[in-house]
Amino acid sequence: MLKCILKIIISIFLMQITLINCNAIEPDEILNNQKYELRAREISKNIRCMVCQNQSIDDSNSSIARDLRILIRNKIEEGSKDKEIYKFLTERYGDFILLKPPLKVNTIALWFLPFLFFIIGILIILNHNKKSNKFIKKN
């Protein structure tokens, strides 16, 4: 039984590794200039798909992700710098479009609430364990 479970876990792990490198870029989107293409790929890895939410547009098959990839490539061909492209996208869609939003006053909650919830969860577990230990010692 343990061998069967181990085989299943290893199979799932191997499938996840192979799927990580799958990109949704279609051949007609790829730029001829390899330097520009690398820039476009790097930018699109940092841009959130507005449909998929936690997936980059580089990995997403949605139509809006495709449109954003093409937009990025057009901006690169026009001579825009990376910062200008990020600025254009954040002005249009807000900081939410960035997979790693900057630390600003209005994004503090995005950065620190997960840690706060983690600490609260640990405190709840510790409190529960103390109560359980007291109950066990009484009986």
Helix (H, G, I), strand (E, B) or coil at 98: strand
Q: What structural domains does the chain harbor? A: 2-99 (1.10.8.640)
pLDDT of residue 26: 63
- Strand ranges (E), the chain: none
- Report, as an integer, the average pLDDT of 80-97: 92
- Report, as an integer, the average pLDDT of 62-75: 91
Share of the chain above pLDDT 70, in %: 86
